Amino acid sequence: MREYTKVIISAFLVILSCLGFGRFAFGMVLPNMQTTLELSTTQAGFIGTANFVGYIIGIIFANFLYTKYSTYKLIFTTIFLQGLSMLSMIFFDNYLTISLFYSFSGFFAAVVNMSIMGYVSNVIPKNIRGKALGIIISASGLAIVVSGQIVPYIENSISQMPWKTSWTIFSICIISIAFLCQPGIKKHAKHEMPENKIRPSFYFTIPSFWKISLIYMIFGITYVVYVTFFVSAVIDKYNVSTALSGNFWALLGFCSMFSGFIFGTVADKIGPYKSLIFVYSLQTISHFILAIDVNSIAIWLSAVTFGISVWSIPSIVTLLTSLHFDVKRTAQVLSLVTLLFASCQAIAPIAAGYIYDITNDFSDVFMATTILTLIAVIVSYIFSKQPIKQIH
């Protein structure tokens, strides 16, 4: 594990930037953005959806770019451009223009994420891969902790559109990380993915592809609704301050820093599908708490159960991909699976916002996600009874 420290640190920084500050900090910024720009919840959801549409398009090009260009140059360029795209958002007040630039951010984030995950899957040995991926993906949790503390502080300190100040800080952090993440990736620059000539349609006939896809698609819908509307839902249902909701958010982020490592280790020991049973059970609890009317103290439990399990799912999905398919197919399969995952992400925010605008209640939104996570528990149990066979 020690010899791969630089790779893990560099990959950690990459995820911290492209997903952590680029996507998950948005949930903390959104309430003030929505109020300042006088947006409906559907319009706010549209901005989130625009990011995921860009992400989908990025996935389509990710495998081609990854096989054509050296990893460290590709990652540097796309992180840098993502930071610039996000920074451009602060110069506009029209939600459609903001959505356009956020879609660019999503595009670059997809290329970065797919590149670093395919890279790590081929550099890190199988016996420690689950643990390593868990550590790397926990970077998103750190971003949530940071945003949960910075955003309320800025909103209390700045009266004029504080969301723009917060977003500027996150954008500058991303641009800085483009330079900081290079050493570990350069060291292993020889580990480039060979180009795969297999047509994507080949995988659509393979049951193991759809097993992984189903698990990831459910996650795509449920987690993005939670991270996008958690703060808004807590403020709406319990009329708490931004500072207190930031503490909920920070606790969620803190717990999530350990989720990938904990369940990545569990997956290495008992198998990925069995570990997903526990993961999705915790996810079900977290969503169900927001779906029902309970004492506001229960929000802490929702934040903890969601956080302690959430980032284990992407790392386990990456692990499953490397176990079901050999090294030459991993990046291509992961791209296809992530494309389906991202399609669900794109639909979920605007659909959830529309449901809220109709019912004026987040309970219906989170009841729907609760049902989906419960389905994931059941299918994970079924899949755990079937052996994993690698396809060459």
**Residues 255-265 pLDDT 10s:** 988 888 888 88
pLDDT of residue 368: 95
pLDDT tier at 197, thresholds 50, 70, 90 = low
Name which of 351, 218, 369 is nearest 287 in CA terms: 369
Q: Does residue 191 register a pLDDT over 60?
A: no
Listing DSSP states for 313-335 in one string gives HHHHHHHHHHHHB-TTTHHHHHH
- In which residue are the tokens 């939670």 written? 226
User: Residue 252 in contact with residue 306, Cβ under 8 Å?
Assistant: yes
Residue keyed to tokens 């029209």: 94
Do residues 141 and 255 lie in contact, with contact meaning Cβ atoms separated by under 8 Å? Answer: yes
Percent of the chain predicted with pLDDT > 90: 47
- Which three-class secondary structure state does DSSP give residue 325? strand
104 φ/ψ angles, rounded to the nearest 5 degrees:
-60, -40
Long-range (24+ apart) CB contacts under 8 A made by 39-42 are 39/95, 40/353, 40/357, 41/232, 41/353, 41/354, 41/356, 41/357, 42/350, 42/353, 42/354, 42/357
CA distance 40 to 354: 9
Maximum CA pair distance of the chain? 59
* CA pseudo-torsion sign 159, 161, 166, 171: negative
Residue 391 DSSP class: B
Structure tokens at 171: 């954008």
| φ/ψ (deg, to 5) at 192 | -95, 145
What is residue 392's predicted lDDT score, i.e. its pLDDT?
Answer: 60
Q: What is the mean pLDDT of the chain?
A: 88
Identify the band that residue 376 occupies on the pLDDT scale cut at 50, 70 and 90: very high
**pTM of the entire predicted model:** 0.79
When pLDDT is averaged across residues 108-136 and rounded to a whole number, the result is 83
Residue 138 has pLDDT above 50, yes or no: yes
pLDDT for position 219: 96
Choose from 52-61, 107-116, 224-233, 273-282 the range with maximum mean pLDDT: 273-282
Cα–Cα distance between 364 and 383 in angstroms, integer? 29
CA torsion, ordered 233, 257, 73, 71, to nearest 10 deg: -110
324 phi and psi angles, rounded to 5 deg: -80, -25
pLDDT digits (tens, 9 = 90+) for 290-310: 999 888 889 999 999 999 999
pLDDT of residue 238: 85
Alpha-carbon gap, residue 242 to 315, rounded angstroms: 31
Share above pLDDT 70 across residues of the chain, in percent, rounded to a whole number = 95
**Which residue in 63, 99, 69, 235 sits closest to 155, CA to CA?**
235
Residue 242 pLDDT more than 80? no
Q: Which domains does the chain have, with CATH numbers?
A: 2-189+200-384 (1.20.1250.20)
